[in-house]
Amino acid sequence: MASQKSQTWLLILVASLGYFVDIYDLILFQVVKEASLIDLGITDELLRKSHKIGLFNWQMSGMLVGGLIWGVLGDKLGRLKTLFGSILLYSLANIANAYEQYGLNVLPHGKEWKDNFSKLISQIIEHPELPTILKKGLIKSISNPKASSCNDIELSRILNSFDVQSEDKVYLENLPKNSSFVFNKRIFRKGDKRKTRFECKEINTGKLYLVHLLAKVKPIHHAQ
């Protein structure tokens, strides 16, 4: 009895997630449709309106045909198998769609990613209220964007300058070597630099950790 009840709740949960993704997809499509057509080069308003109507009709037709097919499969194979099958097909289709533009020969954070990332950031750079120093930092950064923002030290310094500065904390790179400091409620001693991080020895355990040079730490001032 308990096992049957848990399976029922599992089915309800999976069905809820499936329906949520379905409705989310429908809403998201309507939101991005206008901008997507403009990005595809369809600038004429009447032509764009025609395409939007056509896309909506195709979407509704797909839902109608899909409802009929999956409804028949549900009667023949059972609702649970059909539900999982439809979600699996949807997931595989979305994965395949990710490779539609560039195929399978795409490196993680390779040229394709850098080009698209730079294109997105360029839209932010054009905002008139963006501070000049940040705009210059972003322009330099997107010439060869890093996979992680914390690896772009110069841009990180610019972004950090807009943070509320704490009187009792400093950046690790500004501390002298062998200085003691508190970080994440533990006491460390600063050591040698390794690219964008410093070797830091935890006082209590003697273990070595690599801490980012722009980490905010609290210096320990020893009495003279």
Where do the structural domains in the chain lie, given as residue ranges?
2-98, 111-160, 170-219
Q: What is the pTM of this model?
A: 0.57
pLDDT tens-digit readout, 16-60: 877 787 788 778 888 888 888 887 788 888 888 888 888 888 888
Half-sphere exposure of 43 (CA within 13 A, CB side): 1
Q: Where are the beta strands (DSSP E) in the chain?
A: 170-171, 180-183, 186-194, 197-202, 208-212, 216-219
pLDDT attached to residue 224: 45
* pLDDT over 80 at 61, yes or no: yes
- Point out which residues pair with 190 in neighbouring strands: 200
170-219 is a CATH 2.30.30.30 domain? yes
**What percentage of the chain carries pLDDT values higher than 70?**
97
Contact 187, 202 (CB under 8 A): yes
pLDDT tens-digit readout, 62-115: 888 888 888 888 888 887 788 788 878 888 888 888 787 777 788 888 888 888
Contact 202, 220 (CB under 8 A): no
**CA 85 to CA 72: how far, in whole Å?**
13
